[in-house]
Structure 1
Amino acid sequence: MEVVYETERLSLRAFQDEDVEAVKQFWGDEEVMRYCLGATAHEKLPLSLKAYRECHEAKGLSVYAVVEKETGTVIGAGGFNISGEIREVELIYHFAKSSWGKGYATETARACVELAKSHGGVERIDASVDPSNADSSKILEKIGFTYAGMEWFEDSQQEEAVYEIMLK
């Protein structure tokens, strides 16, 4: 499968059906997803992979498999949830616990911003962060996002910090 972006240690590519076992290590893990409405049921993961792959094909951006180049292993996901027009996208990133503390989230988030810039159609990237997830807020600030305030989210039934970066 075609690599959509590469960093020194990581590559981002569209999800493949065979990634489902690796994806269970982050999207299917309650601890990893504790700030994001909890783990996704394992039986629903193939549909998520297909939807993200189709989004990439239709819009040129999506959420991607993050592959550790050294091992060839899918260690996480990073990219954009897109609802509606491509002008405004939501950055997300999630990693298997075995990959925590290695700087992969920062590297992936930075790569995603560069990917959005190269796309040309994205004007604004936002990201919401559970108030208890200070690490994620630090990552966003480190790569140039600015705090835009607190916003109520119906899905999580709580206020979350919103960060944004303007590309145009």
Structure 2
Amino acid sequence: MIVNESDRLALKVFSVEDEEAAKNFWGNAEVMVHCGGPTPHEMLGKVLMSYQACHEKKGLSVYAVVEKETSEVIGAAGFNVASGLEKVELIYHLSKDSWGKGYATEAAVACTEIAKQTDGVETIFASADPHNVSSTKILEKAGFQFIEMKWFDDTNQEEPYFEYQILQDDK
């Protein structure tokens, strides 16, 4: 099920059929070098199904990024939803073949549009490894504001922390 589209990309709810494609981003050590390393291939099916369940339960999740021209799943973008929808975390990971084409920025903007249309979302936040300058540029291009350097226990480091405030006018 497609949840949003941009000029070149479609964002769709993950399905088990996307497991092989997910090896090219979540299962790839080079892609995940700034994100704690790759997900073991045998875990990818569970990850995809958890994101599908999150979308069904909360109406917001991480989605498969599909290149419209080829119909290939080239990455993932969307939201980690901790408890409520008030404050959600934007993530994006694209296969290495898709780097440098503006897809991550396009996907991030498409995700913010989904959040604007989702009742209850007030703030989107994101962080990036301080060595991943490309990711911080993506967040800035997508309209996120740098807030501060912030410590993250899951990565065991201080990272640039960004927010995107959703105004009532955006809804």
TM-score normalised per structure 1: 0.98
User: How many residue pairs get matched?
Assistant: 167
What is the CA deviation profile of residues 91-149 of structure 1, one whole-angstrom value per residue up to 9, with x for unaligned ones?
A: 00000011111110000000000110011321000001110011111111112111111
In the other structure, the counterpart of 2:55 is: 56
CA distance in 2, matches of 1:50, 1:56: 10
Secondary structure of 2:117's counterpart equals helix
In the other structure, the counterpart of 1:20 is: 19
In the other structure, the counterpart of 1:39 is: 38
For residue 155 of structure 1, report the CA deviation from its aligned partner.
1.2
For residue 153 of structure 1, report the CA deviation from its aligned partner.
1.0
For residue 45 of structure 1, report the CA deviation from its aligned partner.
0.5
Secondary structure of 2:126's counterpart equals strand
In the other structure, the counterpart of 1:129 is: 128
CA distance in 2, matches of 1:71, 1:133: 28
CA distance in 2, matches of 1:96, 1:133: 15
CA distance in 1, matches of 2:113, 2:33: 28
CA distance in 2, matches of 1:163, 1:36: 16
In the other structure, the counterpart of 2:100 is: 101
Secondary structure of 2:143's counterpart equals coil
TM-score normalised per structure 2: 0.96
**What residue ranges of structure 2 are gaps of 5+ in the alignment?**
none
Runs of 4+ in 1 over 4 A off after TM superposition: none
In the other structure, the counterpart of 1:144 is: 143
CA distance in 1, matches of 2:13, 2:124: 20
For residue 151 of structure 1, report the CA deviation from its aligned partner.
1.1
In the other structure, the counterpart of 1:113 is: 112
